[in-house]
Every structure is written in structure tokens, then in C-alpha cells.
Amino acid sequence: MSVSRKFSVVHESWPIAGSFSISRGTKTTAEVIKVTLEQDGAIGVGESVPYARYGETIEATLTAMEAVRAEIESGCTRAEVPKILHMHAAQNALDCALWDLEAKLTGTPVWQLAGLEQPPQPIITAYTLSLETPEKMAQAAADASQRPLLKIKLGGDGDHERLRAIRAAAPDTRLIIDANEGWAPADLDNHLAVCAETAVELIEQPLPAGDDDALQGLGKINVLICADESAHAKEDLHKLAGKYTAINVKLDKTGGLTEALALAGAGREQGFEIMIGCMLATSLAMAPGHIIGQQACVVDLDGPLLLARDRDPGILFEGSVMHPPPPELWG
């Protein structure tokens, strides 16, 4: 049976509240693509962020999606998405739009389509502190010290001072950190000692993905070592054993909710803790991640909290409590 479906994809720019810095650079806007699918009176939407770390750009993503317009409009399924698109951001936006479209067409919420046993519940998200001087990060930590979980962006030189200043400014707040591949293997022991001193609970991608052998054997230390750039798909998991004890599942890496669910499931079966993460984007990009967040030990879906404005309707955040997305938004 033929399908009549209308497809559109656009680039949107959302201002960040101030600026946001990690070890690889600084940005003042969140650059996203939004996919819209219309079929039989129903509309499904999805959002993604092209992953610059892997050479993806807005322009290339738009071009790739336009090149397969005929396949999308003739009724491609979620299973066919990786076959017609090879860029993960493009896959993600289309995959999530197809989940939303199915939910709207069938009247069945995505959480049921995904096999969850109960409706999604509110979850606690980390709140990210951008990479800055120790003094500025300490002030940011003090300002956010009422939040239960802070994620600290680090980058190498000065990280010990940053951590100590942040811990002093927020003595009762749980801390996780993200080095974004910014540490060197030779400095790992010193970094780990300061993490223990400041009660860090999780260290995300401390070493470059291609130079992380120094992590071998760290599985028994009292902190989670979480793979981000080293973990994209379930096929990567065998390479992580003995180095990492957790994986950060991001839909822009996996290519959508379909593969994110597969990666999270396979990760749990192999003994990894699951973290759900995000790129800087709006509530529309966070909404599918909320599904994964129901079974994650760490949730990092604070993208909208870092923007100057969000979609309307967006996800309700009460402090760090993230509520399920409204069906008018997604799912």
C-alpha cells in the first residue's frame, strides 16, 4: 500500500543564555535541524544537532536529507532510516519524527510503542557548568548549589583548581565531570586523586577516544568512568570492557531513539551503567531522551535550561526536575 507523506527539514538557531564552553571551543547559539512529517492528518517532528566532532555540519545534513526526500515521502520506516542516511544527526531527526508520527497516527504514546511498562515519570537532570576560570566556575556553582546534581565541563590545565573551587562553593551537591577528551594519559592518576578528594561520582570521557588504554583496569575504583566519544553503537561495547563502567547514550551519536534503545539495552546486559546525554538543543531534542532516562543512573538532559528561550510548548523543568514531554511537543 502506497503512503502519501509530506517531508520538510529546516535549520534553526536558538540563542544560548550567555555562552557555553567546553575543551573544544565556545558557542553562543544552538544550531539544530528540525524534521516534520505529515501523513493522514497527523504530524510527527524530530530534532537533532549535527556532531561537529565527527565532521557533521548543518549544510551537509540538510543536503543528505534532501537527497532522500523521495524515499522519506514514499513511506520509509524506522528500520530503513540507517540504510538511506549515513549521517547520525540526519538519522536521529528522521527516526524521532517517525516515532512521533506513529504515536500520532495510532493514538499510542511513544513510551508504549517503546515497550516501557509504565508511563514515564519525572526525573532529575544534571545541570551543566560551562568551562571557565576556577573563580567563575565557583561562582556558577554557588549560584546553582541548590541543584542536586552538577555536571562540570573540564579541559586539562587548571582542572584541579576548578574542582576544588567548585566543591567549596557547592559542598552538598553531587558532582559529575566531563573532560571531553581533554586529559592526557600521563596526568590521569593526578586527576583521579583530585576527583576522589572532591567526591566526584562520574568522569565522562577523560581521555581521547583513540588513546584511552590507560583506563584499562580502572573498573574497581569508586567512581564511574563513562564512555562518550568512545561509545556510539552496541557494536562498540566489546572495546569498552575493562576501561569503562558506564556509557553515555546520546541520540545524535546513535542515530535516533531506535538505536539508543538498542544500545542502552545491550549496555545493561553487559554490565554497564547507563547515562543519557544530550547536545545543546531544545525540548524537542530532549523529549526522546526522557524515554531512555527512565532506566538511566545519570540523566543529563539540561539543554533547554542553557538556552535563552525554548519551544512552546516545551518540557516543564522545576529546578532540576524534568517532567515528561507534553504530547503536543512530541511522543
β-strand 298-299 against 273-276: which pairing, if any?
Answer: parallel
Instruction: Looking at the structure, tell me whether residues 85 and 200 fall in a common domain.
Output: no
Instruction: For residue 91, give the C-alpha cell.
Output: 538519522
pLDDT at 220: 58
Residue that finishes a domain, picked among 82, 108, 134: 108
Q: What is the CATH number of the domain that holds 45?
A: 3.30.390.10
Domain that holds residue 312: 123-322
Q: Is residue 51 part of a domain?
A: yes
Instruction: Looking at the structure, tell me whether residues 223 and 314 fall in a common domain.
Output: yes
Instruction: Looking at the structure, tell me whether residues 290 and 152 fall in a common domain.
Output: yes
Q: What is the pLDDT along the chain (331 residues), one digit of tens a residue?
A: 578 899 999 999 999 997 776 666 788 899 999 999 999 999 999 999 998 888 899 999 999 999 999 999 999 999 999 999 999 999 999 999 999 999 999 999 999 999 999 999 999 999 999 999 999 999 999 999 999 999 999 987 899 999 999 999 999 999 999 988 889 999 999 999 999 999 999 999 999 988 999 999 875 578 999 999 998 888 889 999 999 999 999 999 999 999 999 999 999 999 999 999 999 999 999 999 999 999 999 999 999 999 999 999 999 999 999 999 999 999 9
The residues near 240 (Cβ < 8 Å, ≥ 6 apart) are: 227, 230, 231, 247, 272
Q: Is residue 261 part of a domain?
A: yes
The residues near 307 (Cβ < 8 Å, ≥ 6 apart) are: 14, 15, 16, 17, 30, 280, 282
Q: Is residue 243 part of a domain?
A: yes
The residues near 127 (Cβ < 8 Å, ≥ 6 apart) are: 144, 147, 149, 150, 151, 302, 305, 320
Instruction: Looking at the structure, tell me whether residues 170 and 67 fall in a common domain.
Output: no
**Is residue 47 a contact partner of residue 287, using CB atoms and an 8 Å limit?**
no
In the numeric block, the cell 533547554 is attached to: 304
**Is residue 274 a contact partner of residue 249, using CB atoms and an 8 Å limit?**
yes
Instruction: Looking at the structure, tell me whether residues 172 and 307 fall in a common domain.
Output: yes
Tell the burial category of 157 from Cβ atoms under 10 Å away from its Cβ (0-12, 13-18, 19+): exposed
Q: Is residue 118 part of a domain?
A: no
Instruction: Looking at the structure, tell me whether residues 104 and 127 fall in a common domain.
Output: no
**Is residue 42 a contact partner of residue 101, using CB atoms and an 8 Å limit?**
yes
Q: Is residue 195 part of a domain?
A: yes
Q: What is the DSSP letter of 215?
A: G
Q: Is residue 115 part of a domain?
A: no
pLDDT at 96: 98
Q: Is residue 327 part of a domain?
A: no
Dist CA 43 CA 61 (whole Å): 21
Residue that finishes a domain, picked among 108, 137, 154: 108
Residue that finishes a domain, picked among 108, 142, 173: 108
Structural domains of the chain, count = 2
Instruction: For residue 214, give the C-alpha cell.
Output: 590507560
Instruction: For residue 186, give the C-alpha cell.
Output: 600521563
Instruction: Looking at the structure, tell me whether residues 102 and 207 fall in a common domain.
Output: no
Supply the pTM of this predicted model. 0.95
Amino acid at 181: E
Q: Is residue 37 part of a domain?
A: yes
Instruction: Looking at the structure, tell me whether residues 97 and 150 fall in a common domain.
Output: no
Q: Which residues are annotated as catalytic?
A: 153, 250
Instruction: Looking at the structure, tell me whether residues 55 and 92 fall in a common domain.
Output: yes
**Is residue 170 a contact partner of residue 141, using CB atoms and an 8 Å limit?**
yes
In the numeric block, the cell 565557583 is attached to: 138
Q: What is the CATH number of the domain that holds 216?
A: 3.20.20.120
pLDDT at 23: 61
